[in-house]
């Protein structure tokens, strides 16, 4: 059995130019097998270009892509499931017929595909739509069909480009839970999004792309720790003045809010001190209701990385 950390996708120094602009400028990324991998960055950063290269829809101008240590080749398309950002179906075709067609294009035989499709259609509660034409489907139902045909052939690698944009909230939850289940079963999943909050909770690894360049790559928890500001949040009862006084010079009060039940303070721990020391100093003056470290969100990290404010850029 392969180790968790073996890479399913290795992209080395990818360059992709279109007339007038460079979509990817020397981007490398390593997608460990069995993880959910986030490809994050603002619109137009080059995420879709990268995804299309992995899907062999376009080729890079230079650089190489490996699929489980083999050079990426047409035969690998059957091990990949792809849900593009702009997704559609043949409007005039019947739902079941169309799903079968797309499954066969991914190399499944008719009987296998039919059996699997039936299961999925029951699971997603769209069984009675099999004989309907796609144009009769609601948008939410078409989304379910699109998702099913993407995962039906049980791909080793699943690539979803902006998966949660345009999906209705119920479908988003449905799909999120399916994705987590599939990861558990060993599927590697690449998600792209410009909305980092929507995917960071699911991702184990990410690459941040900005202006055609990879800005950051690494494990999500590693990155959050390496970008942490040593900020702690303290919920307490007690006089805010005495609290401030207790902090002294060793700690910096970043923010203090007086709320109905609690006072909420954000405290930065200066170098040479620890959270335990902070706790020791404030225990005498306040009754502590909560004490936790604040880790930066992916969004914070992105902004920090892009602006170059953080010097501790630590590639994991």
By the rule CB under 8 A, 74 interacts with another protein: yes
By the rule CB under 8 A, 56 interacts with another protein: yes
Of residues 141-160, which lie at the interface with another protein (CB under 8 A)?
146, 149-150
By the rule CB under 8 A, 88 interacts with another protein: yes
Residues that bind another protein (rule: CB under 8 A) add up to a total of: 33
- Exactly one of 83, 99, 209, 223 binds another protein (CB under 8 A); which one? 83
- Exactly one of 35, 40, 80, 220 binds another protein (CB under 8 A); which one? 80
How far apart are the C-alpha atoms of 7 and 32, rounded to whole Å?
4
Nearer to another protein, 131 or 271 (CB): 131
By the rule CB under 8 A, 55 interacts with another protein: yes
By the rule CB under 8 A, 164 interacts with another protein: no
Of residues 256-285, which lie at the interface with another protein (CB under 8 A)?
none
Of residues 102-121, which lie at the interface with another protein (CB under 8 A)?
102, 104-106
Nearer to another protein, 187 or 263 (CB): 187
- Exactly one of 32, 33, 35, 52 binds another protein (CB under 8 A); which one? 52
Region of 28-36, 64-72, 81-89, 112-120 interacting with another protein (CB under 8 A)? 81-89
Specify whether the CB–CB gap between 260 and 253 falls below 8 A: no
Q: Smallest gap, in angstroms, from Cβ of residue 172 to another protein?
A: 20
Which stretches of the chain bind another protein, using CB under 8 A? 18-19, 52, 55-61, 74, 77-78, 80, 82-84, 86-93, 101-102, 104-106, 146, 149-150
């Amino acid at each position: 059995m392969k180790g968790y950390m073996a890479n399913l996708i290795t992209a080395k120094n990818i360059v992709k130019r279109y007339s007038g602009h460079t979509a990817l400028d020397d981007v490398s990324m390593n997608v460990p097998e069995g993880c959910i991998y986030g490809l994050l960055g603002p619109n137009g950063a080059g995420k879709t270009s990268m995804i299309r290269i992995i899907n062999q829809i376009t080729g890079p101008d230079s650089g190489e892509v490996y699929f489980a240590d083999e050079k990426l080749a047409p035969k690998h398309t059957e091990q990949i499931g792809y849900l593009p950002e702009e997704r559609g179906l043949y409007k005039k075709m019947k739902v079941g017929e169309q799903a079968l067609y797309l499954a066969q294009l991914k190399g499944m035989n008719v009987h296998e595909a039919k059996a699997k499709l039936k299961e999925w259609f029951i699971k997603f509660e769209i069984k009675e739509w099999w004989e309907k034409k796609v144009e009769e489907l609601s948008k939410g139902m078409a989304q379910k069909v699109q998702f099913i045909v993407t995962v039906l052939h049980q791909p080793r690698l699943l690539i979803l480009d902006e998966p949660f944009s345009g999906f209705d909230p119920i479908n988003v939850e449905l799909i999120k839970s399916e994705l987590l289940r599939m990861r558990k079963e060993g599927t590697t999943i690449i998600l792209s999004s410009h909305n980092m909050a929507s995917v960071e909770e699911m991702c184990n690894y990410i690459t941040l792309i900005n202006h055609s360049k990879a800005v950051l790559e690494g494990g999500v928890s590693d990155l959050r720790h390496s970008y942490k500001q040593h900020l702690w949040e303290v919920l307490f009862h007690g006089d805010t003045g005495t609290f401030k006084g207790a902090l002294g010079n060793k700690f910096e009060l970043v923010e203090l809010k007086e709320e109905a039940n609690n006072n909420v303070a954000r405290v930065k721990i200066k170098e040479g001190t620890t959270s335990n020391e902070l706790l020791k100093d404030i225990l005498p003056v306040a009754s502590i209701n909560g004490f936790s470290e604040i880790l930066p969100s992916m969004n914070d990290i992105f902004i920090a990385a892009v602006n170059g404010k953080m010097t501790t850029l630590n590639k994991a």
